[in-house]
Amino acid sequence: MPFNYDLDFDSIDFREEPEKYRVGRGEQGVLLVEPYKSEILQHWRFKTPEIARESSEKIYAMFEEYKKNDDFVGMDMARKFLQMGYTRSRRYANYKGGKKYDKDGDLNDRDIDEEKAESARIFEEKWIKAREDEEYLEKKRAHQKEYG
């Protein structure tokens, strides 16, 4: 089932009502689902490889803590933030200022920033580890089977 953007995200605590959560595709809902957004976003940074390493390690530790607490929604949100760390770092690595398109909507030329590319690699490593975690995959299948 696709991510439901029609929910009143300001009034839902997904820790209390996990049945309302849908995994969706990729990073869908990453900046909407509370209390996880507020818990994780404050640690999400990728400006330099050192900052990306600290951030990705903290978010992955949160993934592990959510897993320990049998909190699938938290696990999935941490996975989404790791994925977003990779995709945003990659965008900034490929395009100066992260601007893929110019003001006319034309694609800008790629200008690889190796420091940002390293930040992307750091996040990618943790993202893969989270998305391939056997317990995560089991909980994901169960959540989707029960709730869609």
Q: What is the pTM of this model?
A: 0.93
**Residue that has been written with the tokens 């390690």 in this structure:** 57
In one-letter notation, the amino acid at residue 7 is L
Distance CA 19, CA 30 (A): 17
- Report residue 2's pLDDT band, with 50, 70 and 90 as the boundaries: confident
Condensed to tens digits (0 to 9), the pLDDT of residues 77-126 reads 999 999 999 999 999 999 988 889 999 999 988 889 899 999 999 999 99
By the 8 A CB rule, do 81 and 56 touch?
no
Distance CA 62, CA 79 (A): 10
Cis peptide bond upstream of 35, omega within 30: yes
By the 8 A CB rule, do 100 and 108 touch?
yes
Sequence spans of domains, the chain: 29-99+107-147
Three-state DSSP class for residue 146: helix
Other CB atoms within a 10 A radius of the CB of residue 45 amount to 17
